[in-house]
Structure 1
Amino acid sequence: MLTQLFPFASVTQTDPETGVTDSLHRRLDERGSDLRVFYTNTSAEYHRGDASLIHTDPDGTTDIDHSPNVRIYHFTGTEHGTGTWPPTDTSDSGEGISRTQNIRSVIDYAPLLRACLENLDRWVAEGVEPPPSKHPRIDDGTAVPTRKLRDTYDTIPGSNYPRRHPLPHRRNYALREDVEQVTKLPPDMGKVFGSLVPDVDSDGNEVAGITLPEIAVPLAAHTGWSLRHPDIGGDTQPLMFAGGTIPFAPDEEARESSGDPRPSIAERYSSKDEYLSRVRHAAVELVKQRYLLEQDISVCLQQAAKYWDHFTTNSDES
């Protein structure tokens, strides 16, 4: 697993455990930098255990504000990469074959990155303020401990929700700051930092962040986690950076047969046309909010049509 080291936030904080006071932007602030920064995270970074620390205190008990020159965006229901198509539980990263217990995430969040790039460019070049940060928060109940999600996923057949989740620990490397050198390996282990994840609705989809139209008008639950498959060992551990897709049943008969409490696709949408109309509406709303470019409405519709054709005819995937 990765090593997480304080500080995490763009504003000055004090770690109550160690007494250290610092910020990620301390040196930038000391020299009066006007650098603009977008922090973007997928759901996988939250379920990795550390993403929430950029917008909470170190113990994960309260929300914190970020620097005025910063925005924080969470891409709802995504894995670290930009999704896998066609749906599969197996991938080859170039370092070997990996396999998960659910099919991998199919969500491509490239349209959100394109909007971020344009918004950041306009902020720097023209002084146009970007849209506000969107991420889970403690004060509105959308940032929660991982255990809270069990209540939802344990009711969904084949969800395979992890019982063990990565937790970031304080580590003391006895750093010599004058030469930026660690002097203690392995480090002394300290208490865990606070670690929160986005809450989910009854479908298993996250309720905070920038939500692509294909997730806002869902055909499946889209997660930032998926357990390793027994074929590759460690089947109680999440596969690093991997997300998952847990499709809805195509119709009521299949839903009742599987015991899935979530309404089926046929119970949600009367036709493909109705489904795509609702996807278009969700895309237009994102464009109005400037989290999506107008040119990418058609991209979202193409993705949604592809998902419809697949998930309405493949009822045995999980």
Structure 2
Amino acid sequence: MGRCSRVVAGLLIGLASPSLAAALASPAEARVTRLELASRQSFGTFRGGDYVRWDGRVVGELAPDDHGIPDLEKAPRSDAGRVAYSARIILIAPADPASGNGALLVDVPNRGRAYANALYNSPRDIPMLSGDLGIGTGFLQDNGYAVAEIYWELGRGAELPSFTDAEGRRRFVEGVGFAIVRDAADFLAHAAADGAGTPNPLAGRINRTLATGKSQDGRFLKTFLLDGFNTAEGRRVFDGMHVFVSGAGLLPIMRSGTGPGSSADGTPNFADPDFPGVHDGPLTIGEIVARVEARGEIPPRMMLLNSTVDYASLRASLGRTGAHGTADLPLPATVRMYDVAGASHVNVLKADACSLPPGRLDWAPVARATLARLDQWVARNAAPPETRLMPLQPAKDDPTVLQAPRALPEAVVQVPQRDADGNPLGGVRLPDIAVPLGVHGAQNAPLATFTCSLIGTYQPFARTSAEAGRQPALAERYRNRSDYVNRVRAAAQALAAQGFLLPEDMAVILNAAAEAPIPEPKAEAAPPR
């Protein structure tokens, strides 16, 4: 064990509770063979106390036939006949084990960039981007979550097994990325220490494990589940999954690639609508869960969230209808699906390459509220809000909509129906949509620029009738700012009662409403005496 690891181990043993000390005497079996923690630093002080951040690597070994990972048997093996891997890991957890809430939240990084803080800790007006490990609002830490960033991708934090093929090319066994996340998550949730005696800093703290992934990594989690990686040592790895804006796609990494980039990078888009691998398998979560249950596994409880832009740019409707027709297929009892009306796939402050200003709907409040409800569903069997979706309409021949691939001739891509202003109907309606100041979730351009096709746009209403075109101006929609704020309050209270908004976010939204640019009516001049 290196000096840094010994120092961290000593610190952890000093902090350990009696139950942890007892657990260290009989380390659990795990595929992770070494946990190499190179650094430990303060992450801040929150509602329950201090948090710390550990940075390091996990090293593990796999049997050559592990879950049928393609070509794994071709990689070099140890004397024990096993195949090695290693991967970067970041842990952000309470310094005092007693101050946590018992939940381990495993984030699947997107193209080598951590996403959990950007999803759950993002403030209203300055959205955090993937890769941002800043504190932001501190929501995850204030609520006691232990967070693990487990890197899995070729060239982006993971050292994958490789071999030389018949043509002399080096190939990387990319399916091992699924095994890395499985093994590291199971180790953190259940093991006391690694084989060298280095303590697991989360030992004795965790009683449930949740996974989160956005876009590429939402597809990672669905494929992880489909291909049987949600079991380890005879137990379920993830009790719940929070899947964001994954469209109807899977992740094509059950293959061996030649590098240097990952096979997970590409996805169908307006410039390459028939990109293979993503829409070649099951499209609906119902199909995936059916395969899980057919293997005798207990599926995790899942929440899948879609943005409005996903329907036009990522074929999200196929995740509801499958490859045939326009009727929604039933969801399993273990799944909820929520459409966030007016939301973009990703929020950015600037988009210089795009023709229109980017979308600006802050839907982090829905991410926070649904994580809390997913956790309650897993921990206490508390029923979450029912599925809430936007009504759809076919978009055949619409050039602003990514049509179905040629390989799915009976698939019909649909988009949300919209009101007279252009805002989408139905779904989870934040006050910004229920009491709008403009139109959210329209397509940006040029669509062939992938970023522009995902960020959508926001078009504010005119302030006064003199500035307005066809749409009523703000001065015609709201009598004054007090009228607007009262309507926002009513919308926020309704959303909170439905389980999609937390009290702290309601306060932020009302504060923003009180500062909105609503024209005040001109005071009438007093009559002359």
| TM norm. shorter chain > 0.5 | yes
| Secondary structure in structure 1 of the residue aligned to 2:372 | helix
How far off its partner does 1:240 sit? 2.6
How far off its partner does 1:312 sit? 6.3
User: Following superposition of structure 1 onto structure 2, how do residues 271-286 of structure 1 map, counting pairs within 5 Å?
Assistant: 271-286=480-495
For residue 115 of structure 1, the aligned residue among 348, 365, 369 is 369
For residue 343 of structure 2, the aligned residue among 78, 89, 109 is 78
Are the equivalent residues in 1 in contact too, given 2:437–2:460 (CA < 8 A)?
A: yes
Q: Which residue of 2 aligns with 1:176?
A: none
Taking the aligned partners of 1:304 and 1:166, their CA distance within structure 2 comes to 35
**Structure 2, gaps ≥5 residues long:** 1-266, 269-277, 521-529
Q: Deviations over 1:205-235 (max 9, x none)?
A: 0002101001110010001521129xxxx59
Taking the aligned partners of 2:371 and 2:512, their CA distance within structure 1 comes to 21
How far off its partner does 1:168 sit? 2.8
Q: Deviations over 1:34-88 (max 9, x none)?
A: 410111111121111421122224223212110000000011101112x345xxx
Give the alignment's Cα RMSD to 1 decimal.
Answer: 2.5
Q: TM-score, normalised by structure 1?
A: 0.70
Q: Which residue of 1 aligns with 2:413?
A: 195
Q: Which residue of 2 aligns with 1:179?
A: none
For residue 298 of structure 2, the aligned residue among 29, 33, 51 is 33
Are the equivalent residues in 2 in contact too, given 1:222–1:244 (CA < 8 A)?
A: yes
Taking the aligned partners of 2:416 and 2:371, their CA distance within structure 1 comes to 24
Taking the aligned partners of 2:467 and 2:442, their CA distance within structure 1 comes to 26
Q: Which residue of 1 aligns with 2:392?
A: 143
Taking the aligned partners of 2:451 and 2:325, their CA distance within structure 1 comes to 22
Are the equivalent residues in 1 in contact too, given 2:348–2:455 (CA < 8 A)?
A: no
User: Following superposition of structure 1 onto structure 2, how do residues 302-313 of structure 1 map, counting pairs within 5 Å?
Assistant: 302-305=511-514, 308-309=516-517
1:25 counterpart letter in structure 2: V
1:36 counterpart letter in structure 2: R
**Structure 1, gaps ≥5 residues long:** 12-22, 92-97, 137-141, 149-161, 172-189, 314-318
Q: Which residue of 2 aligns with 1:7?
A: 282
How many residues align? The count is: 244
Q: Which residue of 2 aligns with 1:186?
A: none
Taking the aligned partners of 1:213 and 1:53, their CA distance within structure 2 comes to 28
CA 1:53–1:312: 2 relative to 1, 3 Å? farther
How far off its partner does 1:238 sit? 8.5
Taking the aligned partners of 2:513 and 2:323, their CA distance within structure 1 comes to 39
Larger Rg: 2
For residue 297 of structure 1, the aligned residue among 485, 501, 506 is 506
Taking the aligned partners of 1:60 and 1:103, their CA distance within structure 2 comes to 34
For residue 427 of structure 2, the aligned residue among 209, 228, 232 is 209
Are the equivalent residues in 2 in contact too, given 1:59–1:193 (CA < 8 A)?
A: yes
1:221 lines up with 2:430 in the alignment: no
How far off its partner does 1:167 sit? 1.5
Taking the aligned partners of 1:60 and 1:170, their CA distance within structure 2 comes to 15
Identity %: 29
How far off its partner does 1:26 sit? 3.7
For residue 129 of structure 1, the aligned residue among 364, 374, 383 is 383
For residue 288 of structure 2, the aligned residue among 13, 16, 24 is 24
Q: Which is richer in strand?
A: 2
How far off its partner does 1:202 sit? 0.3
Are the equivalent residues in 2 in contact too, given 1:49–1:168 (CA < 8 A)?
A: no
CA 1:192–1:147: 2 relative to 1, 3 Å? closer
For residue 168 of structure 1, the aligned residue among 401, 404, 407 is 404
Tell which has more relative contact order, 1 or 2 (C-alpha 8 A, sep 6+): 1
Taking the aligned partners of 2:400 and 2:309, their CA distance within structure 1 comes to 14
User: Following superposition of structure 1 onto structure 2, how do residues 234-249 of structure 1 map, counting pairs within 5 Å?
Assistant: 239-249=452-462
Taking the aligned partners of 1:300 and 1:208, their CA distance within structure 2 comes to 20
Q: Which residue of 1 aligns with 2:307?
A: 42
Instruction: Select between 2-11 and 60-69 the one with higher mean Cα deviation.
Output: 2-11
2:430 counterpart letter in structure 1: L
Q: TM-score, normalised by structure 2?
A: 0.43
Taking the aligned partners of 2:411 and 2:314, their CA distance within structure 1 comes to 9
1:66 lines up with 2:302 in the alignment: no
Are the equivalent residues in 1 in contact too, given 2:348–2:358 (CA < 8 A)?
A: yes
Taking the aligned partners of 1:163 and 1:10, their CA distance within structure 2 comes to 28
